[in-house]
Structure formats: C-alpha cells, structure tokens
C-alpha cells in the first residue's frame, strides 16, 4: 500500500483548484482502509475523505492530514422479488455509470439522477436529488467504516437523517465515516417521473409520447448537458447553492413585490421552495465574470473557474451573491458545495 506525500489535488476536483494534500492514500478494499487508519493514528493525523471531488471547493493552499481517496468498486444483487431488486454498489463506483447500468437493466428509480457527477458513496452523504427524485426515495441501507473505532457500521434510512441535500454524515458525523457500500431498492416494472423541470417538454421535442426510463434518462442527460458546463472544459462543482425553503406566509409577502417569483411545493404544507437560480439571476449575477471566476451565463446556480482561479476567489464571489440576495429578498442562501 503506497502512501504519497505532498500530492497536487488539481486533477482530483472538478473546480480545478490547485491545492496540496499532506498525505494521500487510495483505498481499494477493507484492508486498505484499516491501513489508512493505522497510519493516520501513528502520525496523529486528521482523516479526510475524497470521492469524485465534484462537490468540493478547496480554499486552503495546503490540506493537512491524510486524504483517503475512495476507489472501492463492485456491484451485486442482494435479493429480489417479483417487483423489486435490492442492489448494492461500492462507494467508489462512478454514480452516472451506476445509473446507466441500472437503466440498461430496466431497474427503475434513479433515472432522473442521470449525469450527476461524483461517486456512489457520496450520494447518501448529500442525499443527491434532481428532477423530482432524491436518493432517499430508493435508499435501503449502507455500510460505513468508522475511523474512531475501526468498526463497520450499517445505517438504515432512518439512521441517515436525510434532509434536503443533508444527512448525518454532513453534520453530526463529519469526517468520521467512509461509506463503503450503498444498497438501493429499485423497481423491476418502473414508473416514470416526468413532472419536474423540463423533462416533459424535452420528451416532446424528442417526439416521445410514452417514455420509458431509458427515455427519461436520455432527456435528463440532454437537459443537463445543455444547461450545465462540462467540468473538463470549465471548472465548476454544479449547483453551488441550495434552493431556499421559506414559509408560505413570507412567500405571499414577497410575491406582492416580486410578482414573477416562482416556487415549488415541499413536504410541508406551510413551506415552499424558491429556486435559488431565479433569485441570483434577478439580482443580476447570471453571466457575471471577474477575472478567472464567474457565474455561468446559462445557469446562475453554477459558479465557475475560467482559468487559474484560487478557491478564495470563488468563495468571495459566493459571499457577494449571498449578500446581494439577502439584501434584496431577505433570504439567506446556503452553500451546497463543501468548503475545505
């Protein structure tokens, strides 16, 4: 097992920010993870996990401690019934490739989550979601390595404390666990979900009247490809901010002044979700550029690195956007991207 020192991380994050890990280890199995834990303890180092680097902004030039790069691979069927299949995927599997695998098998439930960057292990951490579907909708359980004790713990859906782009792994257990495997409950006779966003319109443009999950996946890929910049061309981490959730009472007050402000329903009858992109665009940030950083001209939620930006430049721009939205709407934008 090779532990590298002073490793450049620019190619390990989709923002393309240059930062250096004090130590880095690539883990491919349980023994590697135990070895990483022992090494960190022997040198009194902090552990930190690096997945696909697609929801991460490095603001420190040097990253202290041991960076553990998850490269755990594998997929297997745990059980199946006449209607459902319980499928396990290792945490280091590429998320989009995993979705494509399931779609090709006609196992439904995650097709709306096509083309989301990152690894399977990060999907429950963020409770990833798009186009009316969230990870928690198909989640069954996961296994995670607990660094303080060296034990492997199993988490049910209830244990994960899923919320909007939230889980216990982002707050309560920050840095304590490496997610080794995730299990998904998928449908053998899938029903499509096309109500959210531009899916229905895109399917019409594709001349598809009775879509399959394969069609829905293709539509989502088309939408995301046209709207979001390719990180290999323009550095970005997708949506930088969460969509804020506010009370219906405050929304009605806002609507009197901002008559075009849109909203989406939530699980709570007393709250609505406001598209952060609309708030950012209204306040004039869409397409803004300053030096090597900017707000993407096609999607206001995406902050971009046009060249050799440093993380602090992007963080500063995000702060300016937050202040502007707060001043205009008295709504606090919350960052979705993890800052390190």
Active-site residue set? 165, 239, 336
DSSP H/E element including 4: strand 3-8
Beta bridge partners of 49: 68
Say how many Å lie between the first and final Cα of the chain, rounded. 26
Other Cβ atoms within 10 Å of 327 Cβ, number: 9
Question: Sheet containing 302-305: which strands, arranged edge to edge?
Answer: 235-239, 302-305, 293-295, 289-290
Q: What share of the chain is helix, strand, coil (3-state, %, to 5)?
A: 30, 30, 40
Beta bridge partners of 304: 236, 294
Other Cβ atoms within 10 Å of 269 Cβ, number: 8
Other Cβ atoms within 10 Å of 123 Cβ, number: 31
What value, to the nearest 5°, has the Cα angle with vertex 65 and ends 64 and 71?
A: 120
Question: Cα–Cα distance between 158 and 26 in angstroms, integer?
Answer: 30
Answer yes or no: are the C-beta atoms of 106 and 147 closer than 8 Å.
Answer: no
- CA 323 and chain centroid, separation: 24
Residue the block writes with tokens 């293709």: 218
Question: Cα–Cα distance between 302 and 233 in angstroms, integer?
Answer: 14
């Amino acid at each position: 097992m090779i532990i590298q020192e002073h490793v450049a991380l620019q190619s390990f994050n989709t923002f393309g920010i240059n930062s250096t890990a004090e130590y880095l280890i690539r883990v491919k199995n349980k023994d590697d993870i135990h070895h990483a834990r022992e090494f960190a303890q022997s040198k009194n180092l902090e552990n930190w996990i690096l997945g696909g680097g697609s929801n991460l902004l490095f603001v420190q030039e040097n990253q202290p401690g041991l960076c553990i790069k998850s490269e755990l691979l594998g997929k297997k069927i745990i059980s199946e019934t006449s209607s459902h299949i319980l499928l396990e995927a290792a945490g280091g599997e590429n998320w989009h490739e995993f979705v494509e695998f399931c779609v090709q098998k006609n196992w439904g439930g995650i097709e709306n989550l096509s083309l989301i960057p990152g690894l399977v292990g990060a999907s429950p951490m963020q409770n990833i979601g798009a186009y009316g579907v969230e990870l928690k909708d198909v989640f069954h359980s996961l296994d995670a390595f607990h660094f303080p004790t060296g034990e492997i713990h199993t988490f049910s859906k209830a244990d994960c404390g899923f919320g909007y782009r939230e889980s216990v792994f982002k707050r309560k257990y920050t840095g304590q666990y490496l997610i080794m495997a995730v299990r998904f409950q998928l449908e053998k006779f899938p029903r499509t979900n096309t109500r959210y966003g531009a899916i229905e319109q895109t399917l019409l443009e594709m001349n598809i009247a009775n879509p399959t999950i394969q069609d829905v996946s293709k539509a989502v890929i088309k939408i995301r490809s046209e709207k979001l910049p390719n990180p290999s061309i323009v550095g970005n981490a997708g949506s930088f901010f969460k969509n804020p959730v506010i009370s219906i009472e405050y929304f009605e007050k806002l609507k009197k002044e901002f008559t075009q402000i849109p909203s989406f329903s939530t699980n709570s009858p007393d709250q609505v979700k406001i598209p952060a992109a609309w708030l950012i665009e209204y306040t004039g940030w869409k397409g803004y550029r300053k030096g090597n950083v900017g707000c993407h001209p096609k999607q206001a939620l995406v902050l971009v690195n046009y060249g050799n930006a440093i993380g602090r430049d992007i963080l500063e721009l995000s702060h300016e956007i937050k202040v502007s939205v707060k001043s205009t709407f008295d709504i606090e934008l919350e960052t979705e991207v993890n800052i390190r």
